[in-house]
Structure 1
Amino acid sequence: MLDLKTLPYPQVIESLDYEKILSDIKNVFKEQLNDSEISLLQSDSYSALLETLAYRELILRAKINSSVKNMLLPYASGSDLDNIVAIYGIERLKGEKPTANVKFSLSTALDYDVYIPPNTILLSQNSKKATLKEPVIITAGQKQAFGVIVLDEFVLKSSKKCEFIQTPLPFLLKAEQTSEFMGGAERESDDRLRQRAVLSLHRFSTAGSTKSYIYQALSANAKVLEVSVLNGGAGVVKIFLKTTDMSEETRQSVADHLNGEKVRPLTDSVIVANANIIDVDIKANLELTDMFMQDEIDKAIKTTPNSLKIGEDLNLSYIYSVLHRNGVYRVNLQTPTADIKVGEDSFARISFNISYKKASL
């Protein structure tokens, strides 16, 4: 796939040099006075005026440069990028709304079923809205039932609590959110949209190329992070997904899209599966030059991405590069003890189990 980062810097974007602009303006000024030998001192009122004109021209040229860059795929962002990729016949994915579990309770058990309709509105303390995904029925003789609510935001997860029932319902006492909002996906980033724009050119392939399947899988669901396409034999295409939630629901949505009549070549049998997860516990003892740096080092290590790419081996050299931070004198790695090989249908998921002690220098 074309790497936009390797493209040469466009010549249409000019380099800005304030001193050269100022010199050119001064030369024009001198020509109008018919005196090429005139000397403009820094204290002259004309000098301040010419410097102002030069600075305004510099700003104008910078604005033109910025406008030109926003018309080019490698540099455009936001709504400018949305307009550019429209040429490719694609648009930015909105993302997915996360869900949470909720418990509805009655003030007293009734001798008939209580029906709580879908789209019942629940609010948080700061008026963030969530709606009931499917109807909930509190059966006769029971005082509570469980349901799923959907947060009205396109985010990966949220700790908001939506427990204030806005929709009036008789006998319904309260709603208690029993889990955080999870399983969503943020609005598609500029980098991911650029990647799909380049890949989208392969969707016109009539032979079902690898890149066309990658494009279609990324376009099927905003939760898809990576796609691996493998040859499963004559007429069989195996697709392995790495997603934000690794759920069956996400996998099925991609499978349905890839098997659609407008996507799947007639002769292909497409098998879609979640990539295998290889859990790796990195256990180590770090000797520090100064124990006061423990919290800073621990925080830096644990902000490392918790998974590698599909098919990327987890090598000991990578682990040491993550652990041997500034302030670490020695890394005593306990597990793993060898490089971990990862197939094209799998990815490594990392957890850290780190202890610390003062180094004996």
Structure 2
Amino acid sequence: MSNAQIIDMSKLPAPAVVVVPELETILSALKADLVAAMPAEARSAVSDTLALESEPLTKWLERLAYQLVVERSDRNDSAHAVMLAYARGSDLDQLGAFFGVVRLVIVPAQPAAIPPVAAVYEDDDTFRARIQLAPRGYSVAGPVGAYVFHAKTADGQVLDAAATSPTPGRVVVSVLSRVGSGVPSQALLNAVSAAVNADDIRPLTDEVIVQAATIVNYQIAAKIYTLPGPDSSSVLTTAQQRVIAYAESMHRIGRRPTLSGIYAALHIEGVDRVELTSPTADVVVGETQASWCTAINVTHGGIVG
């Protein structure tokens, strides 16, 4: 959430605790240690022997080096598992539990169906963002982050939420749904309103109004020209997938799709140039609005050269 100012963890430097293993470096160190352990008069001969790929001892050291790489990779995974920026799946569930946050149900299970249908839960990235906001939810002084956290936790159908204060003592919580363009149902608005107006959440002096986020519609229309060599249809398909993913990532309150972002999504390997006809400027999105791409049309303009 832009107005809650959460940290973009994708921009944080890689953690220093994680050591990237290099097979050749480990193998060279193992060979050097073995040579150093030999009597001085035998070191040259042992070094020459270890330089032979067919030498059984060399093969054994290569296998040992590989095992050490695997072991260090496992350590890397273990370190990542306890970091909010990297944790996935059940590891992320455990981190969420530490903050009292559980993964929300998006689509309830249907155990009576034939065959039974499992529940669909919120994805890792959405869950991670709520965990980030969780400490702000502890406050009952009415900070922006607290309202956003409780609004997003009210129901699994809430895709995004924003809190603004147009006048002192008046808080407006805007809600974006996961369904269609994002316009929430009245039932969803009622659920969010009940959550943010609870006695142990809303300050006594705040008037909290819950509303639907205003949807700003736009379309993407572009023509790409490809270079000789790569299969044009594959390049076109990949470009379409990337621009769809970009539009979906911008479907949040306060995020504005930009021309540079669309160009970046389309200008992939194998593309010579992109002609973008729509939109003609950055999509203007306010702090209570969310963009919705109603159509995406990417065509092939031809092969250059």
TM range, smaller chain? 0.7 to 0.9
Count of residue correspondences: 279
Whole-angstrom distance in 1 between the partners of 2:38 and 2:256: 72
Whole-angstrom distance in 1 between the partners of 2:34 and 2:280: 74
TM-score (norm 1): 0.64
Q: Give the 3 Å change call, closer, same or farther, for CA 357–18 of structure 1 in structure 2.
A: closer
Identity within the alignment, %: 28
Aligned to 2:191: 253
Q: Which one-letter code corresponds to 2:143 in the other structure?
A: S
Return the match for 1:348 from 285, 291, 300. Answer: 291
Q: Going by fraction, where is strand more abundant, 1 or 2?
A: 1
CA drift at 1:62: 1.6
Gaps of 5+ in 1: 100-118, 130-151, 155-185
Aligned to 2:28: 23
Q: Which one-letter code corresponds to 1:249 in the other structure?
A: A
Q: Does structure 2 retain, via aligned residues, the 8 Å contact 1:342–1:348? A: yes
Q: Is 2:212 the counterpart of 1:274?
A: yes
SS state at 1:214 partner: helix
SS state at 2:21 partner: coil
Q: Is 2:23 the counterpart of 1:9?
A: no
The runs of 4+ residues in structure 1 deviating greater than 4 Å are 284-290, 292-299, 313-333, 336-340, 353-359
CA drift at 1:341: 3.2
Which has the higher Rg, Structure 1 or Structure 2?
1
Q: Give the 3 Å change call, closer, same or farther, for CA 358–311 of structure 1 in structure 2.
A: closer
Q: Which one-letter code corresponds to 2:138 in the other structure?
A: F
Q: Give the 3 Å change call, closer, same or farther, for CA 192–210 of structure 1 in structure 2.
A: same
Q: Going by fraction, where is helix more abundant, 1 or 2?
A: 2
- Structure possessing the higher relative contact order (Cα contacts under 8 Å, 6 or more residues apart): 2
> In the TM superposition, what whole-angstrom CA distance separates every residue of 1:159-179 from its partner, at most 9, and x where no partner exists?
xxxxxxxxxxxxxxxxxxxxx
Q: What RMSD, in angstroms, separates the aligned Cα atoms of the two structures?
A: 3.7
Q: Does structure 2 retain, via aligned residues, the 8 Å contact 1:236–1:268? A: yes
Where does 1:292-303 land on structure 2 (aligned, <5 Å)?
297=236, 300=240, 303=244
CA drift at 1:330: 4.8
SS state at 2:71 partner: helix
Whole-angstrom distance in 1 between the partners of 2:97 and 2:258: 41
Return the match for 1:194 from 128, 136, 140. Answer: 128
Q: Is 2:91 the counterpart of 1:80?
A: yes
SS state at 1:349 partner: strand
Aligned to 1:215: 149
Aligned to 2:44: 37
CA drift at 1:281: 5.3
Q: Give the 3 Å change call, closer, same or farther, for CA 297–213 of structure 1 in structure 2.
A: same
CA drift at 1:228: 1.6
Whole-angstrom distance in 1 between the partners of 2:99 and 2:145: 15
Whole-angstrom distance in 2 between the partners of 1:202 and 1:85: 14
TM-score (norm 2): 0.74
Gaps of 5+ in 2: 1-5
Whole-angstrom distance in 2 between the partners of 1:357 and 1:48: 52
Q: Give the 3 Å change call, closer, same or farther, for CA 98–278 of structure 1 in structure 2.
A: farther
